[in-house]
C-alpha cells in the first residue's frame, strides 16, 4: 500500500524564517521529458542544503514536465519545494484545483507569478489566460487557506495550508517612490518574497533601506536573488541583456582573471551571501543557476550559513 504524504504541515523554509535564521532557497527547472529521473537526480544535491527548492512553471514560456508533478516527487525524496504558479496558463478553476493538489502532495510553499510572455517563447501563437493577476492569485490562495472557502465561497472540506510567496526586483528607487505593489501583495496575503538577481550590494543596501523606511521587511521576509557565475562572458551577457540585472565590473574582472572561473564564481557567490546576511531587512538569499544544482549546494556549504542552525532546523 502506498504511503500518503503528510499534508498541511509547515515546511523548513517557513520554520527557518519564523525562527529568525538566514534562509537559503535554490531553484530547479523541469525539462521536456516524461522521465523525471534525471530531473530528480539533478535536484538531489540540494537536499540538506537549501531550505526549499523552487520548481519553475513554464519558464521562458516553454512546455516541460508538469511542475506540480515534479514538486510532488521532490517532496517524496525529502526536498521541500516552492512550487511556482503563473497566472499565464490557467484560469481560476484550474488554479484552485492545483492549489488543493499542492497541499494534498504535502508541498508547503508556493510562489505566485505572472509568467513570461508566450510571444517570447517557442509557442508564440499560444493564448495566454491571465484570468487573475499575481496579487489576486495570492489573495485566492490565502482565502482558501484562511477561510476554508473556494473563490465561489463554497466550503473546502480540508483547507490547504500554504506558505505564500511573491516576487520582486531590487533597484534604486526615485525619491518619491512608494511600495504600492508590495503593499498590495502583503495585503493580499503574501508571506515571503524572492527577488530577481542582485549582484550589486550597493543596490541591495539602498533598496532594502528604502523598504525598511516603509516597514516592509517587518511584514514580508526578503530573500535576495543571487547565483554562481560560471564565467566573465556569462556575467557580461547577464549585465547587458537581463532586465534589472547589474553585475559590478570588479566581479567580472575577478572572473576574467581567475584560473578557474567556475570555482571563483562559487566563491564570489558565497561571499555575497555572507555580506547580504548583514544587510538590514535581508532575511535570506535565493540561488538561481540553470542546471547547476550541485554548484548551488556547494555555494551554500561554502557560505557557512547552515552551521549555526539548531538541530531541529537542520536537514
pLDDT tens by residue, 188-242: 999 999 999 999 999 999 999 999 999 999 999 999 999 999 999 999 999 999 9
pLDDT per residue as tens digits for the range 139-177: 999 999 999 999 999 999 999 999 999 999 999 999 999
The backbone region for 161, taken as left when phi is positive above 0, alpha when psi lies in -120 to 50, beta otherwise, is: beta
pLDDT 10s digits, 2-34: 566 788 899 999 999 999 999 999 999 999 999
Q: What domains does the chain contain, in order, with CATH numbers?
A: 12-303 (3.20.20.220)
Give the integer Cα–Cα distance in Å for 231 and 221. Answer: 31
Tell me the residue ranges of DSSP E strands in the chain. 23-28, 52-55, 81-86, 109-113, 163-168, 192-197, 222-226, 282-287
- pLDDT tens digit string along 106-149? 999 999 999 989 998 899 999 999 999 999 999 999 999 999 99
User: Which pLDDT score, from 0 to 100, does residue 7 have?
Assistant: 84
Q: What confidence tens digit (pLDDT) does each residue in 41-53 have? A: 999 999 999 999 9
What is residue 155's DSSP assignment? B
Q: What is the mean pLDDT of residues 258-286?
A: 98
Task: Give me the mean pLDDT over the 85-90 stretch.
Answer: 96
The answer to whether residue 1 scores a pLDDT higher than 50 is no
pLDDT at 8: 85
Q: What is the DSSP letter of 44?
A: G
Q: Quote the pLDDT of residue 6.
A: 80
Specify the pLDDT at position 315. Answer: 57
The pLDDT score that the predictor gives to residue 268 is 98
Amino acid at each position: 500500500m502506498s504511503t500518503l504524504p503528510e499534508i498541511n504541515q509547515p515546511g523548513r523554509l517557513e520554520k527557518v524564517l519564523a525562527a529568525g535564521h538566514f534562509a537559503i532557497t535554490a531553484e530547479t527547472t523541469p525539462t521536456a521529458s516524461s522521465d523525471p529521473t534525471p530531473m530528480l537526480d539533478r535536484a538531489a544535491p540540494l537536499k540538506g542544503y537549501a531550505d526549499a527548492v523552487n520548481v519553475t512553471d513554464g519558464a521562458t514560456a516553454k512546455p516541460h514536465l508538469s511542475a506540480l508533478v515534479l514538486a510532488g516527487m521532490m517532496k517524496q525524496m525529502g526536498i521541500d519545494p516552492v512550487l511556482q504558479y503563473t497566472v499565464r496558463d490557467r484560469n481560476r478553476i484550474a488554479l484552485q484545483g492545483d492549489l488543493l493538489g499542492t497541499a494534498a502532495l504535502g508541498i508547503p510553499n508556493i510562489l505566485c507569478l505572472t509568467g513570461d510572455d508566450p510571444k517570447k517563447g517557442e509557442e508564440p501563437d499560444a493564448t495566454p489566460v491571465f484570468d487573475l493577476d499575481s496579487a489576486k492569485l495570492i489573495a485566492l490562495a490565502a482565502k482558501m487557506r484562511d477561510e476554508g472557502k473556494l473563490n465561489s465561497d463554497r466550503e473546502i472540506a480540508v483547507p490547504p495550508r500554504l506558505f505564500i510567496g511573491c516576487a520582486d526586483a531590487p533597484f534604486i528607487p526615485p525619491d518619491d517612490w512608494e511600495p504600492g505593489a508590495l503593499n498590495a501583495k502583503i495585503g493580499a496575503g503574501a508571506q515571503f518574497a524572492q527577488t530577481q538577481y542582485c549582484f550589486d550590494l550597493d543596490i541591495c543596501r539602498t533598496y532594502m533601506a528604502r523598504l525598511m523606511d516603509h516597514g516592509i521587511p517587518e511584514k514580508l521576509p526578503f530573500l535576495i536573488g543571487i547565483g554562481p557565475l560560471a564565467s566573465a562572458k556569462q556575467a557580461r551577457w547577464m549585465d547587458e541583456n537581463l532586465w534589472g540585472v547589474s553585475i559590478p565590473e570588479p566581479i567580472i574582472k575577478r572572473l576574467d582573471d581567475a584560473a578557474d572561473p567556475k570555482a571563483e564564481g562559487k566563491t564570489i557567490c558565497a561571499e555575497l551571501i555572507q555580506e547580504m546576511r548583514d544587510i538590514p531587512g535581508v532575511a535570506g538569499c535565493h540561488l538561481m543557476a540553470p542546471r547547476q544544482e550541485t554548484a548551488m549546494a556547494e555555494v551554500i556549504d561554502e557560505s557557512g550559513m547552515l552551521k549555526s542552525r539548531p538541530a531541529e532546523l537542520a536537514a
